Amino acid sequence: MDAMQAIRETFFQECEEQLGELETGLLSMQEGAADSETVNAVFRAVHSIKGGAGAFKLDKLVKFAHVFETTLDKIRNGAMEPSPPVMKSMLRAADVLADLVTISRDGGAFDDARSNELIGELNAHCEDKAPAAAAPAPEPKTEEEAEENPFAALGWEPVTISLEPDINEYVINFKPKPELYAKGNEATRLMRELSRLGSLTVQCEIADVPLLANLEPEQSYLAWHATLRTEQDIDSVRAIFEFVDDDCQLDVEKVEPDISAPPLEPVAEVEEAQEAQEAAPVETAVLAVEEQRAVAEAAPLAAASKAEAKPDAAASAAQNTIRVDLDRVDRLINLVGELVINQAMLTQRVLEAGAVKNANIATGLDDLEHLTREIQESVMAIRAQPVRPLFQRMSRTVREIADATGKNVRLKTEGEGAEVDRTVIERLADPLTHMIRNAVDHGLERPDARIAAGKAPQGEVKLSAAHKSGRVVIEISDDGRGIDRARVKATAINKGLIPADAVLSDSEIDNLLFLPGFSTAEKITNISGRGVGMDVVKRSIQALGGRISITSRPGLGSTFSMSLPLTLAVLDGMVVRVADQTLVVPLNSILETMKPKTSEVYGLGPDSQVIGIRGGFTPLIDVGYQLGFRYERCDPMQGVALLIETEGGYRSALMVDAIQDQRQVVIKSLESNYGHVDGIAAATILGDGRIALILDTDAIVNASSGRNSPSDMLLAG
């Protein structure tokens, strides 16, 4: 059963892909690209899902896919127009199909009402557009198919068999036409199969075979007369000839036991009927085909070889992917990480050993370094996946919210081919969904309001991805009303998030959206208000090593822009020294670095300090003291302050002794190799072989705010 389970998994993986293609295809059909290529691809996707679902007895999935497929078939053969209402139903049907697949895979309750509603909707379209007579109700057809199950038929068998002896006798007269041989069927094989059913006597009728000189190699001259004694019924006997029905003369008769009909009689009849025809011994027939082959060899061969050249290229394009278990890739990535570290260590040791810069060994090491870099990049690329499936999921989200809010929305996607680490993609789904919801629910106006504002009634949400300097930038923009800054500020003051007299720039007001506990909706709708705010979105993005920013223009729309690392296996970090320890601070959290001056540092109570930066005060946190590397606070004037931003947009200044380097480090999990340490996110191994801890800046700030009073935390800005 293991093999079956594996195939089942493959099936669901494939379903995901097919659903993706379905979505893409339907969307381009909606845009008006109803060319046969697109429609066929869409049809194939549904058809494949149905085919696989049948194999796993997923009846509800089969039933729904069948109705869906029937509708698509109508569009495919031109019996139905892909009009906007039809396309709308199609897209909704695709959503239901996706749900059915998910439920079939993970279990759960089927929403029968919804799928039946869609089935009704699709059927209604079919009946509308197709001539009444040519529209068979698709549902019963599925049931028919189910009834075709041979086991159902077998189930009845014992009931019909009476106490009479089970042996039946059949007389079979069979004369193949040339077409039978042309399709790769063979009379002798059919006779052999007959003999499997019981005891068989066969006569080959060779009277029609002409003299060799007159023999047409591709003609059929033989006829067969057989008598079969078997327990099987007449249908099983006929089933043997199922494939050749149209390509032969076939006559199967049951010989009733009480009527002892002489077996020769039917033969005679057949002979009469076939008088005008010819026959040949079987050897000749086979030989004839062989001969024909030899004759035909010369000419078509050239043509054939020409035709083969093309498929070759096409086939290689189709087969250039393999599937690999994710664990294996991760193991490889880990190993390559070790290799990079090892290579750096080796280089350092060689230099320590006093090798001259341009010695052969140094050149060799340089090559090794290039090579390991390249291996690392290639391995990282294995985990990378295009963001397309993620974007496709969003188009469903947009549809659902547009339906729920009565807004008319179009999702435009760009750069779906941009590749990002798989984990990043997985963990991006929730924040992205939330932001899309916000864009439609809060960003876009209702159609009437849009018209009043002189815009097209259909709003547009644009989702784009692009690679920029080693990171991927994902943007969500809408052409809605933009952020209502006056209201945002008022809300923030109301909720006590900012003082009533705060003077904030536009972008600072926009950033208020990311504060915990902020929600602009006057009443929380069940669409945007699902218990998560933009603060959670921001935190998820930061957890991925990313940053998020907003730009908005009143009346023209807003853009949320996220910049994310391409991989989670390496990190851009600043290597710093703190109390003789080497630490790495993730670069994405550092806003700026500075050397504090005496005039800027103020004591606040006995235990804490703040630093004045451009008119505001920011808590100063001594990392060494916080982590317990030293028991006395350092002198801020002797060190370097790293201004960082934490979740919620708060800023803090981390005091370190010195900045050493800025570099990419390979992340090693501390939890899986040692254990969790507060304030530390992970570890890495530096070129000199020493372990450096990677700072969890949020945790450091949180821990220190326990010592400092929270009121010291000043708002971003």
Partner 1 sequence: MSMKILTVDDSRTMRDMLRMALSGAGFDVVQAVDGMDGLDVLEREAPDLVITDINMPKMDGFGFIEGARKKDKFRVTPILVLTTESDPEKKMRAKTAGATGWIIKPFDPVKLVDVIRRVAA
Amino acid at 435: M
Question: Is 13 near partner 1 (CB under 8 A)?
Answer: yes
Shorter beta-carbon distance to partner 1: residue 76 or 577: 76
Tokens of 192: 């052999």
Q: Least distance from C-beta 54 to partner 1, angstroms?
A: 4
Q: Least distance from C-beta 250 to partner 1, angstroms?
A: 15
- Contact (Cβ atoms closer than 8 angstroms) between residue 580 and residue 570: no
Shorter beta-carbon distance to partner 1: residue 181 or 650: 181
Question: Is 328 near partner 1 (CB under 8 A)?
Answer: no
Q: Least distance from C-beta 217 to partner 1, angstroms?
A: 12
Q: Binding string to partner 1 for residues 169 to 208, with x set by CB under 8 A, is what? A: ------------xxxxxx--xx--x---------------
Q: Taking the C-alpha atoms of 518, 524, 526 and 532 in order, what is their torsion angle to the nearest 10 degrees?
A: 10
- Contact (Cβ atoms closer than 8 angstroms) between residue 287 and residue 193: no
Question: Is 658 near partner 1 (CB under 8 A)?
Answer: no
Question: Is 276 near partner 1 (CB under 8 A)?
Answer: no
Question: Which stretch in 46-54, 429-437, 443-451, 605-613 sits in contact with partner 1 by CB under 8 A?
Answer: 46-54
Question: Which stretch in 126-134, 209-217, 303-311, 407-415 sits in contact with partner 1 by CB under 8 A?
Answer: 303-311
Question: Is 148 near partner 1 (CB under 8 A)?
Answer: yes
Question: Is 78 near partner 1 (CB under 8 A)?
Answer: no
Question: Is 113 near partner 1 (CB under 8 A)?
Answer: no
**Total residues at the site for partner 1 (CB under 8 A)?**
53
Closest CA to 42 of 65, 18, 70: 18
- Backbone torsions φ then ψ of 640, nearest 5 degrees: -125, 140
Question: Is 59 near partner 1 (CB under 8 A)?
Answer: no
Question: Is 705 near partner 1 (CB under 8 A)?
Answer: no
Shorter beta-carbon distance to partner 1: residue 163 or 318: 318
- Contact (Cβ atoms closer than 8 angstroms) between residue 404 and residue 397: no
Question: Is 154 near partner 1 (CB under 8 A)?
Answer: no
- Strand order of the β-sheet with 640-645 is 590-594, 640-645, 651-656, 616-622, 608-613, 601-604
Q: Rounded to an integer, what distance in angstroms lies between the CA atom of residue 602 and that of residue 596? A: 11
Closest CA to 439 of 483, 384, 385: 483
Q: Which member of 152, 301, 335, 521 binds partner 1 (CB under 8 A)?
A: 301
Q: Which member of 127, 145, 166, 374 binds partner 1 (CB under 8 A)?
A: 145
**Which residues in the 231-250 window bind partner 1 by CB under 8 A?**
240, 242-243, 246-247
Tokens of 226: 């057989």
Shorter beta-carbon distance to partner 1: residue 36 or 363: 36
Q: Least distance from C-beta 290 to partner 1, angstroms?
A: 10
- Contact (Cβ atoms closer than 8 angstroms) between residue 507 and residue 483: no
Residue 342's Cα: distance from chain center in Å? 36
Burial class (CB in 10 A: 0-12, 13-18, 19+), 658: exposed
Amino acid at 8: R
- Contact (Cβ atoms closer than 8 angstroms) between residue 76 and residue 43: yes
Tokens of 184: 């790769």
248 SS3 class: strand
Q: Least distance from C-beta 18 to partner 1, angstroms?
A: 8
Q: Rounded to an integer, what distance in angstroms lies between the CA atom of residue 348 and that of residue 33? A: 60
Question: Which stretch in 44-52, 555-563, 646-654, 694-702 sits in contact with partner 1 by CB under 8 A?
Answer: 44-52
Shorter beta-carbon distance to partner 1: residue 305 or 505: 305
Question: Is 54 near partner 1 (CB under 8 A)?
Answer: yes
> Taking every pair of C-alpha atoms in the chain, what is the biggest distance, in angstroms?
124
Question: Which stretch in 23-31, 52-60, 620-628, 674-682 sits in contact with partner 1 by CB under 8 A?
Answer: 52-60
Burial class (CB in 10 A: 0-12, 13-18, 19+), 716: buried
Q: Least distance from C-beta 267 to partner 1, angstroms?
A: 25
Q: Which member of 32, 311, 454, 706 binds partner 1 (CB under 8 A)?
A: 311
Amino acid at 40: N
Q: Which member of 6, 324, 371, 658 binds partner 1 (CB under 8 A)?
A: 6
Question: Is 155 near partner 1 (CB under 8 A)?
Answer: no
Q: Which member of 106, 312, 501, 580 binds partner 1 (CB under 8 A)?
A: 312
Residue 404's Cα: distance from chain center in Å? 26
Q: Sign of torsion, CA 475 479 483 487?
A: negative
- For partner 1, the binding residues (CB under 8 A) are 3-4, 6-7, 10-11, 13-14, 40-41, 43-44, 47-48, 50-52, 54-55, 57, 145, 148, 150, 181-186, 189-190, 193, 240, 242-243, 246-247, 289, 293, 296-297, 300-301, 304, 307-308, 310-312, 314-315, 318-319
